[in-house]
Amino acid sequence: MRILLITLGLLGLVACSNQPTEQTTSDYAVAMPDKFGAQVAIDVLEQGGNAVDAAIAAQFTLAVTYPEAGNIGGGGFMTIYIDGQPDFLDYREMAPEAASRDMYLDEDGNVHPTDSLFGAKASGIPGTVAGMWEAHQKYGKLPWARLVQPAVTLAKDGFHVPPKLAGRVSRYIKRLRDNERDSNFEHYFGAATEADVLFTQPELAATLARIRDQGPDGFYKGDTADAIVAYMQKTNGLMTHDDLANYHAKWRTPLAFDWRGYKVVTAPPPSSGGIAVAQWLGMVDTVLKTNIMPAHNSAPYLHMVSEAGKRVFADRAEYLGDPDFFDVPQSELMQPAYIESRAKDINLTAISPTEGIAPGLHESEDTTHFSIVDKWGNAVSNTTTINLSFGAGVVAEGAGFLLNDEMDDFSAKPGVPNFFGAIGGEANAIEPYKRMLSSMTPTIVLEDDSVKLVTGSPGGTTIISSVTLSIFNTLLYGMTAEEAVNSPRFHHQLWPKDTIRVHDGFNKATLTALEAMGYTIDDRRFGDLHLILNENGKLSAASEKNGRGKAIVRNTQ
């Protein structure tokens, strides 16, 4: 394998799936959640497209080949570094105009268990098509139609279903049947339950062809809009023609902060992720001023990082929401002195009482990610979602795409956790045209104005941990891209009380030591990191081996 990779490297081409990646002299790279997205994106880069072009083509491709999370029916965030300037595109879904604060409460004031998670009423107004159009208008080099066409072809002519996708579709259909859900999912995806069969999606192909030919009007107006609204009316959904026409993606100032000589460029609100990562890195640094760095993935390391995470998530619940609707105290939450003060009562030998961790300011699964670096050194870190796997579990009939269930990311009732166990209050209450708080954290780390690291992951609230730990793994512990994405990860988010969620692969003695301290270990895998790392001018890229991702690194020579 090593000899083959070195030989390919000399030919100027190194392809790395989720196998160990060799370091090569190379200058453009993609790390994608599947091989179709990887191929389409690298082709665009090879043909003179920039990182944003490749991101647009990949986003539409994943809407066809990665239906669990790739989408045109959802939204996302794109962190961009282009021509030496950072930028950030918010194409998060918005609540329909008819949405209201108590829309998911029953007559007793209790949150309905599935209304915000399943079916048309769970769906926010999709932002993806408007987002990709905005990105193309501002930064695109290749023609729009060239970027959308690969997705049209894959939907029309079909693709061979990867075994992992067949497994996920089969399990999802079983769950729908077991729970007697009224869904058209099996009608649309029943043929994708068998690995390696050719799977075509003619309705989706027609929708993508309208987007290719008409831009956003091919989605937010005309036949596609008519199909969405007709499906809403048939199934109790809220979205109207006006909602679709009123949707807009938004350019925002990216969150940027200094950390250990690097510049971290990441997601501002309505993501909670950027502020959370800044606080997390800052609190750990505060602790390390007076303590030595614990061994990687040892019990003291998990405890120290979890204690910081507790404080991060207390602030997230209280202060973070859509900044267009709620006055997010961003600069206060990012103040080094504030972050330092939050870390000062972290006890490295005992768990601090969960109930005692209040927000600090006044006395307070499924998503997917890809990373791209082009030959000019521009980068895109893009995380996109329809919320849970296969979103709301229903397809907009006549348009062929899965609707999102992003409304569950709002706080349906103060203090009541959403699917990811995240709680919230006023900041993230439902309001018409408001964007629901997100944990998506597409991040680019710069060193001397050059891209050092492009990182991101799916996983709801665990995204924040995956991104933070990928920064620690590469830039503190010196891991390669491959080691960093496959290193066991952990997550702590204040509630449930004293619970650390872990990936498999942890040393048993570490977990026993944490249990002895009083932690409950929740052993459930999370995330799917896709990361590009620049080591002295050489790019390495890696996708986590448990997913079906693919990373490709190429040279210009």
- Of 68, 87, 318, 409, which one interacts with ligand GLY (CB under 6 A)? 409
Q: How far apart (Å, rounded) are the C-alpha atoms in residues 391 and 176?
A: 13
Minimum CB distance to ligand GLY smaller for 314 or for 533: 314
Residue 439 annotated as lining a ligand binding site: yes
Does residue 68 bind ligand GLY (CB under 6 A)? no
Question: x/- binding map, residues 357-396, to ligand GLY, per CB under 6 A?
Answer: ----------x-----------------x-x---------
Q: Which span (83-91, 189-197, 223-231, 434-442) binds ligand GLY, by CB under 6 A?
A: 434-442
**Contact of 323 with 267, CB cutoff 8 Å:** no
CA 138 distance to own-chain centroid: 22
Number of residues that bind ligand GLY (CB under 6 A): 9
CA torsion 50-368-397-153 (nearest 10°) is 40
Does residue 123 bind ligand GLY (CB under 6 A)? no
Residue 470 annotated as lining a ligand binding site: no
Q: Which span (113-121, 172-180, 438-446, 507-515) binds ligand GLY, by CB under 6 A?
A: 438-446
SS3 assignment, position 497? coil
CA 99 distance to own-chain centroid: 24
Min dist. Cβ of residue 462 to ligand GLY (A): 9
Min dist. Cβ of residue 528 to ligand GLY (A): 13
The tokens for 37 are 């997205």
Does residue 460 bind ligand GLY (CB under 6 A)? yes
Question: x/- binding map, residues 72-101, to ligand GLY, per CB under 6 A?
Answer: ------------------------------
SS3 assignment, position 32? strand
Minimum CB distance to ligand GLY smaller for 301 or for 401: 401
Minimum CB distance to ligand GLY smaller for 445 or for 464: 464
Residue 253 annotated as lining a ligand binding site: no
Residue 405 annotated as lining a ligand binding site: no
The tokens for 154 are 């894959």
CA torsion 106-462-255-84 (nearest 10°) is -130
Question: x/- binding map, residues 309-348, to ligand GLY, per CB under 6 A?
Answer: ----------------------------------------
DSSP 473: I
Minimum CB distance to ligand GLY smaller for 39 or for 438: 438
Residue 170 annotated as lining a ligand binding site: no
Does residue 405 bind ligand GLY (CB under 6 A)? no
Min dist. Cβ of residue 74 to ligand GLY (A): 8
Which residue among the candidates 224, 235, 286, 367 is catalytic per the annotation?
Answer: 367
**Contact of 432 with 419, CB cutoff 8 Å:** no
Q: Which residue has the tokens 């210009």?
A: 556
Which residues are registered as beta bridge partners of 531?
542
φ, ψ of residue 208 in degrees (nearest 5):
-65, -35
Minimum CB distance to ligand GLY smaller for 49 or for 67: 67
Min dist. Cβ of residue 239 to ligand GLY (A): 18
Residue 423 annotated as lining a ligand binding site: no
The tokens for 524 are 């459930």
Output the DSSP codes for 133-144. Answer: HHHHHHH--S-H
Residue 457 annotated as lining a ligand binding site: no
Minimum CB distance to ligand GLY smaller for 456 or for 460: 460
- Of 123, 235, 306, 438, which one interacts with ligand GLY (CB under 6 A)? 438
Residue 387 annotated as lining a ligand binding site: yes
Does residue 240 bind ligand GLY (CB under 6 A)? no
Does residue 440 bind ligand GLY (CB under 6 A)? yes
Q: Which span (16-24, 233-241, 307-315, 433-441) binds ligand GLY, by CB under 6 A?
A: 433-441
- Which amino acid belongs to residue 188? Y
Instruction: Report, in angstroms and rounded to the nearest whole number, the Rg of the chain calculated over CA atoms.
Output: 22
Minimum CB distance to ligand GLY smaller for 9 or for 458: 458
DSSP 500: E
Q: Which residue has the tokens 């965030």?
A: 77
Does residue 439 bind ligand GLY (CB under 6 A)? yes
Q: Which span (281-289, 298-306, 389-397, 435-443) binds ligand GLY, by CB under 6 A?
A: 435-443
Active-site residue flag, 200: no
Does residue 493 bind ligand GLY (CB under 6 A)? no
φ, ψ of residue 77 in degrees (nearest 5):
-135, 140
Min dist. Cβ of residue 390 to ligand GLY (A): 13
Q: How far apart (Å, rounded) are the C-alpha atoms in residues 493 and 425?
A: 16
CA torsion 283-289-290-296 (nearest 10°) is 70
Q: Which span (148-156, 292-300, 436-444, 503-511) binds ligand GLY, by CB under 6 A?
A: 436-444
Min dist. Cβ of residue 294 to ligand GLY (A): 29
Helical ranges in 236-349 per DSSP H: 241-246, 273-289, 299-319, 330-334, 336-343
Which long-range CB contacts under 8 A does 214-223 form with residues at least 24 apart? 215/133, 215/144, 216/129, 216/130, 216/133, 218/129, 219/72, 219/126, 219/129, 219/130, 219/244, 220/129, 220/130, 220/244, 220/245, 220/247, 221/245, 223/398, 223/399
Binding residues for L-glutamate: 92, 385-387, 409, 438-439, 460
Residues that bind ligand GLY in the complex, under the rule CB under 6 A: 367, 385, 387, 406, 409, 438-440, 460
Active-site annotation, residues: 367
